[in-house]
Amino acid sequence: MRYVPLALAGFVVLVFCVALFEGVSIAPSTIPSPFIGKPAPAFSMPRLLQSGQVSPDDFKTDNITLLNVWASWCVPCRTEHPHLMALKKRGVRIIGLNYKDNEKAARAFLAARGNPFYKVGVDKQGQTAFAFGVYGVPETFVIDEQGRILTRLVGALDETRLATDINPLLSRQSSRQSEQ
């Protein structure tokens, strides 16, 4: 009977350790989004390089659009930038969401490295990113022709993520278009 409280405490510690291990083992890049399959949230942002606005209407096209959340101060954004440029060369439409950045620094970033974006919206306060559930940069959302979010990719794009997450969606879209 003296050991019951000790055994109970040991059980609680064991449950806590298992829960902690499970939580640590989840890769941040696989955190699901509650927006998958739903329309992109309503937003309106001023454009960085031209006058006008960026809004969900920009997603409603004949093709899949990527929404890439980036900033000039973001080191992983520099790593993924060549992959965005390669996607642009393939004809992929990419809209940039410049997150909590200095506009002059953002323009200099694009001038020095090239501009992969069809449009770039300025999100100085992070309100649009918050509406998408973004918690850091970079993040990329794949959005279909009707403006619905197909997937969310947390972290920098690389060859593996392009091959496993983005190219299959682009291929699926291409095959649907060729059937029409």
Residues 6+ apart with CB under 8 A from 28: 154, 155
Question: Which option is the CATH number for 37-179: 3.30.70.141, 3.40.30.10, 3.40.50.300, 3.30.43.10?
Answer: 3.40.30.10
With 80 as the cut, is the pLDDT of residue 9 above it? no
Alpha helices, DSSP H, located in 30-89: 75-89
Under 8 Å CB-to-CB from 77, ≥6 apart: which residues?
Answer: 70, 71, 137, 138, 156
Quote the percentage of the chain above a pLDDT of 90: 73
In this predicted structure, what is the pLDDT of residue 176?
60
- Tens of pLDDT along 18-54? 544 544 444 444 566 788 999 999 999 999 999 999 9
Indicate whether this model's pTM tops 0.85: no
Q: What pLDDT sits at residue 27?
A: 46
